[in-house]
Amino acid sequence: MIAFIIRRLLQSLIVMLAVALVSFSLFRFVGDPIASMVGQEATLAEREALRQQLGLNDPFVMQFLGFIGRAIQGDFGISYRLQQPVMELILSRLPATLELALISGFFAFVFGVAFGVYTALNRRGWLSNSIMTLSLIGVSLPTFLIGVLLIWVFAVELQWLPSFGRGETVWIGDWWRTGLLTHSGRVSLILPAITLGLYQMTLIMRLVRAEMLEVLRADYIKFARARGLSNRAVNFGHALKNTMVPVITITGLQLGSIIAFAIITETVFQWPGVGALFIRSVQFVDVPVMAAYLMLIALIFVVINLIVDLLYYVVDPRLRVDRASARH
Amino acid sequence: MSFMTKTGTLRTALMAGVATAAMAFTSVPTDAETLRWARVGDALTLDPHSQNEGPTHTLNHHIYETLVGRAVDGTLTPRLATDWYIHDEDDTVWVFEIREGVTFHEGQELTAHDVVFSLDRARTPPSGMAALHAAVEEVTAVDDYTVHVRLAGPAPLYVQNLTNTFVMSREWAEEHGTETAPNFAAGEEAYSVRNTNGTGPYMLVEREAEERTVLRVFEGHWDDAPQVTEIIYTPISEAATRVSALLSGEVDIVQDVPVQDIARLEQTDGVSVVRGPENRNIFFSYDMTSETLASTNVDDNPFAHPEIREAMALALDRDAIRQVVMRGESQPSAAPLPPFVNGWTEEMHAYDAPDIERASELVSGIYPNGFSVDLHCPNDRYLNDEAICQALVGMLGRIGMNVNLVSQTRSLHFPLIENWETDFYLLGWGVPTFDSQYVFDFLVHTREGAYGAFNGTRYSNAELDAMIQSLATETDLEARDATIAAIWDQVMEDRIFLNVHNQMLAYAMRDGINLDVHPENQPRMTSVTFD
């Protein structure tokens, strides 16, 4: 077990380094940060001096090693754009993104499973058909368009919900600023959470439905019915339980992509999270922020994968036996 | 675990503020008027000298003040300086008389020493304002309310460079170790990035960068109290969301209205739109000097032929671009100069109707099979920049020029001009000094030293360079204007620029709010009035 974890951790480290290398080499194609940092009156000599000072003229390898060296010490530098320490910037924006991602992930899971089960059990009902049709819209419409449509209907026409921002926020301790404890914070969360979670919800729903239909045809379900068990016990006690293993895996992994791909939703709703910070940093060629953000996202994916792997190891006894016997 | 509602304390503080305001000045409306103001981007920093950038200056103008201000008609107005003039005996010295009885938000008295300190801070790298003060040799305080600025030579228009140079308290800066502008490379955040102490009409109450900034009226301000007593400033980067926020009543003023929404907003009940010309021209320019071009399929440089440059001017249909691309929101003109800038004339503004037949003849006279060339264009810098380029590609296609459009983000586009890596490009240029010299210095003069940084044409005319340099020190304004006119004649004759139009600005706001368009796109909320 320990050897397994150590091996996994080493692999994660290599993944992080690879991400750093790839993203760092991409930055050279994003553009020249100097152009956005100085005013139009700056002379060519001043531009060159700043470039030299920031180490942008150093060879690629030197820049990369310097970045890794400082990153290990937790120093990601100062944002070119906002002149604040990068780590502090990202940490201050992270709660907004995490709250949005967790809430939308939770709703996607609950509604996805509920709709999935319903449409699997009532395959020909009109309601199932309409849910399936609507879910097609969820998969095929781009997030951007869904967001703008929701704003138009619920903020401009009906004026029920706010169109942008996070509402009032409250500090919990020194690091976490939450919108969940105020009324305006909670209503501000609704539209972005739906926008971000809609795709995941349809994905989970379709997965649950397909798995459920598969399981319902299995012999043990037929046997359970033959034993005279109630519909409820068969559907939920046996069928649903057996469909949940892949669903939970997918949901866990999707959480990573919800955090990483909140960028569009955050931009549309002016949600002050790390995704919006990243997209503006790209426009400005704010290399320190881009580098730190990509490392953070890589870390989130690596950690989630690690946890999933460990859970498999713990949950599934067959895995343990196989590996143990392979070792001997 | 401690819970604290930020807006809760804000509200209490605000009420206390309003109560004191009402006691101090009876002219202040007793009900607090809050203005919710949205625009596309946030100020980059609150440091007064770090960045020479529009949105940063716009916000800082509410907290800090400059010696002279810029009115909506482009003229200079007294601010912290009550008077300014060139010294009687020495024409290299500018004299500024500083307003008496001005205090900073934290209570310090403004004196000439603060002004000297601020001008020195602004002209010392890494300040972003340094280039505007490059000619300054020494700033001295003659007495507590008089400042002398000595320049390298006579500089009749130096005062025009001061409209965005803010004054801060020397005592405060020294106390917080922020005597120089923040240094990007130092790796430390400066105190002045998030904390302010200005003399301006509003004080900073709360700021979350890129989320919201709250300003409250400063009761100790020397000028008449503004009608707006609280400003809530929110950047909303997405155009559709920004307009929606106005329509749903969540903001009162939207500064950057997308061109395609102007007509619709004007027809919406409860919303009004004001427009005005911006101080920014959009034009094409080309390498007209090199022997050969990298991106063309012919052996010489087509842009070196005056006939080709003339043909392009004849092919450009500015009215079509105005109607189709800009939806009527632009001021087409032949010269890259906004009307309120010194040196502008009616003749420079007038442009010919397109003549495709004549243009085709000019091109085929030199290149019977036409020629091809790359056009570089930014796609996120100016209003509809990429669409303007696409329109030009079509127009030039009709006269035998096969233009290959390369449009990309601003951070990739501008280095091409800086490094002379583009043959043909789009550029927008504003004139913050409101004088033609600024255009000549950066775009026409041969590239050397502080001159010609954006001269992507490689144009170099020694005679013109000498005339341009003379502008900086010529104190006889009539003779100076004559030189400016002569330079423009040459520039227009040589067709260095293929100008398209001057951009228009539009602000949308709730009915009942009045605000004029500022030519530098720096509206002052102090000038807002309510019906």
CATH of the domain at B27: 3.40.190.10
Our CA-based measurement puts residue A207 at a distance from the nearest CA of chain B, in whole angstroms, of 33
Q: Distance between terminal CA atoms of chain A?
A: 14
Positive/negative CA dihedral, B190, B191, B194, B199: negative
Per domain, the residue ranges of chain A are 1-80+285-328, 93-272
Between chains, do B212 and A165 touch, taking CB under 8 Å as contact? yes
The answer to whether residue B56 sits within a structural domain is no
Q: Are residues B74 and B170 in the same domain?
A: yes
Decide if pLDDT at B185 tops 80. Answer: no
Q: Are residues B362 and B492 in the same domain?
A: yes
Higher pLDDT, B150 or A310: B150
Our CA-based measurement puts residue A102 at a distance from the nearest CA of chain B, in whole angstroms, of 21
Between chains, do A50 and B7 touch, taking CB under 8 Å as contact? no
Of all residues in chain A, the one with the smallest CA distance to B429 is A40
The answer to whether residue B296 sits within a structural domain is yes
Interchain CB contact of A148 with B (< 8 Å) = yes
Decide if pLDDT at B18 tops 70. Answer: no
Q: Are residues B458 and B407 in the same domain?
A: yes
Domain end residue (candidates: B161, B192, B223) = B192
DSSP classification of residue B226: P
Q: Are residues B97 and B238 in the same domain?
A: no
Q: Are residues B354 and B469 in the same domain?
A: yes
Of all residues in chain B, the one with the smallest CA distance to A160 is B248
Between chains, do A41 and B380 touch, taking CB under 8 Å as contact? no
Model confidence pLDDT, tens digit, residues A222-273? 888 888 888 888 888 788 877 877 787 788 778 888 887 788 999 999 999 9
The Cα–Cα gap between A190 and A167 comes to: 11
pLDDT of residue A242: 79
Q: Which residues pair with B136 in a beta bridge?
A: B151
Between chains, do B130 and A46 touch, taking CB under 8 Å as contact? yes
Residues 262-281 of B with CB under 8 A from A: none
Our CA-based measurement puts residue A100 at a distance from the nearest CA of chain B, in whole angstroms, of 16
Of the pLDDT bands very low, low, confident and very high (cuts 50, 70, 90), residue B21 is very low
Of the pLDDT bands very low, low, confident and very high (cuts 50, 70, 90), residue A315 is low
Higher pLDDT, B113 or B472: B113
Burial classification of residue A10, based on how many CB atoms lie within 10 Å of its CB (0-12 exposed, 13-18 middle, 19 or more buried): exposed
> How many CB atoms sit inside 10 A of residue A92's CB?
19
Q: Rounded to 10 degrees, what is the CA torsion of A130, A133, A138, A139?
A: 150
> How many CB atoms sit inside 10 A of residue A114's CB?
14
Q: Which residue of B211, B265, B281, B406 to mutate against A (max A Cβ within 10 Å)?
A: B211
The answer to whether residue B15 sits within a structural domain is yes
User: Tokens for B226?
Assistant: 């503004």
Decide if pLDDT at A309 tops 80. Answer: no
The Cα–Cα gap between B98 and B85 comes to: 12
Of all residues in chain A, the one with the smallest CA distance to B235 is A270
Between chains, do B5 and A276 touch, taking CB under 8 Å as contact? no
Q: Which domain holds residue B346?
A: 277-504
Contacts of B44 in chain A (CB under 8 A): 81-83
Q: Are residues B209 and B308 in the same domain?
A: no
pLDDT of residue B344: 92
Tell me, what CATH number does B486's domain have?
Answer: 3.10.105.10
The Cα–Cα gap between B223 and A246 comes to: 69
Q: Are residues B437 and B493 in the same domain?
A: yes
Do B224 and B20 meet the contact criterion of CB atoms below 8 Å apart? no
- ipTM higher than threshold 0.95: no
Q: Residues B238-247: what's their mean pLDDT?
A: 92
Residues 21-80 of B with CB under 8 A from A: 41, 44-45, 47, 50-53
> How many CB atoms sit inside 10 A of residue B379's CB?
17
Of all residues in chain A, the one with the smallest CA distance to B248 is A156
Backbone angles phi, psi at B283, to 5 degrees: -145, 165
Our CA-based measurement puts residue B2 at a distance from the nearest CA of chain A, in whole angstroms, of 6
pLDDT of residue B186: 65
> Which of A33, A83, A268 faces B189 most closely, judged by CB atoms?
A83
Name the CA radius of gyration of chain B, rounded: 25
The answer to whether residue B394 sits within a structural domain is yes
The Cα–Cα gap between A249 and A308 comes to: 7
Model confidence pLDDT, tens digit, residues B22-62? 333 333 344 578 999 999 888 888 999 988 888 899 999 99
Residues 392-431 of B with CB under 8 A from A: 409-412, 414-415, 418, 429-430
Interchain CB contact of A151 with B (< 8 Å) = yes
| Contacts with A325 (C-beta within 8 Å, 6 or more apart), sequence order | none
Of the pLDDT bands very low, low, confident and very high (cuts 50, 70, 90), residue B83 is very high
Of all residues in chain B, the one with the smallest CA distance to A88 is B189
> How many CB atoms sit inside 10 A of residue A281's CB?
26
Between chains, do B44 and A82 touch, taking CB under 8 Å as contact? yes
User: Tokens for B350?
Assistant: 């007038």
> Which of B2, B130, B244 faces A152 most closely, judged by CB atoms?
B244
The Cα–Cα gap between B70 and B518 comes to: 9
- Regarding beta strands B401-408 and B230-235, do their DSSP bridges make them parallel or antiparallel, or are they unpaired? unpaired
Q: Residues B105-112: what's their mean pLDDT?
A: 95
Of all residues in chain B, the one with the smallest CA distance to A28 is B412
Decide if pLDDT at B122 tops 90. Answer: yes
Of the pLDDT bands very low, low, confident and very high (cuts 50, 70, 90), residue A34 is confident
Contacts of B209 in chain A (CB under 8 A): 82, 84
> Which of A80, A165, A172 faces B234 most closely, judged by CB atoms?
A165
Q: How far is CA A185 from CA A167, A178, A181, A211, B208, in A?
A: 4, 8, 7, 37, 16
pLDDT of residue B361: 95
pLDDT of residue A319: 61
Between chains, do B241 and A164 touch, taking CB under 8 Å as contact? yes
Residues 447-486 of B with CB under 8 A from A: 447, 449-450, 453-454
Interchain CB contact of A165 with B (< 8 Å) = yes
pLDDT of residue A136: 85
Our CA-based measurement puts residue A205 at a distance from the nearest CA of chain B, in whole angstroms, of 30
pLDDT of residue A317: 64
Residues 346-375 of B with CB under 8 A from A: none
Q: How many domains is chain B built from?
A: 3
Model confidence pLDDT, tens digit, residues A109-123? 999 999 999 998 888
> Which of B1, B53, B182 faces A172 most closely, judged by CB atoms?
B1
Interchain CB contact of A83 with B (< 8 Å) = yes
Q: Are residues B461 and B371 in the same domain?
A: yes
Contacts of B411 in chain A (CB under 8 A): 30-33, 35-36, 283-285
Least confident piece of the model among A305-319, B64-78, B462-476, B492-506: A305-319
> Which of A77, A172, A270 faces B238 most closely, judged by CB atoms?
A270
Residues 34-53 of A with CB under 8 A from B: 34-47, 49-50, 53
Interchain CB contact of B256 with A (< 8 Å) = no
Q: How far is CA A123 from CA A135, A214, B435, in A?
A: 15, 13, 75
Which run of H or E residues covers position B281? strand B271-286
Q: Which residue of A161, A163, A166 to mutate against B (max B Cβ within 10 Å)?
A: A163
User: Tokens for B313?
Assistant: 């001017």
Sequence-ordered strand ranges (E) for B458-516: 497-510, 513-514
Contacts of A45 in chain B (CB under 8 A): 449
Model confidence pLDDT, tens digit, residues B429-440? 988 889 999 999
> Which of A31, A40, A84 faces B189 most closely, judged by CB atoms?
A84
Higher pLDDT, A127 or B1: A127
Q: Which residue of A43, A48, A87, A92 to mutate against B (max B Cβ within 10 Å)?
A: A43
Between chains, do A156 and B248 touch, taking CB under 8 Å as contact? yes
Model confidence pLDDT, tens digit, residues B253-285? 999 898 888 988 999 999 999 988 888 999 999
Return mean pLDDT, chain A.
Answer: 85
The Cα–Cα gap between B450 and B455 comes to: 12
Our CA-based measurement puts residue A50 at a distance from the nearest CA of chain B, in whole angstroms, of 8
CATH of A93-272, one of 1.10.1740.10, 2.60.120.10, 1.10.3720.10, 3.40.640.10: 1.10.3720.10
> Which of A50, A83, A268 faces B238 most closely, judged by CB atoms?
A268
Contacts of B132 in chain A (CB under 8 A): 41
Do B153 and B66 meet the contact criterion of CB atoms below 8 Å apart? no
The Cα–Cα gap between B337 and A157 comes to: 43
Q: Residues B348-375: what's their mean pLDDT?
A: 94
Residue B126, preceding bond cis, omega within 30 degrees?
Answer: yes
Q: Measuring CA to CA, which residue among B258, B259, B241 is closest to residue B250?
A: B241
Q: How many CB pairs under 8 A join A and B?
A: 171
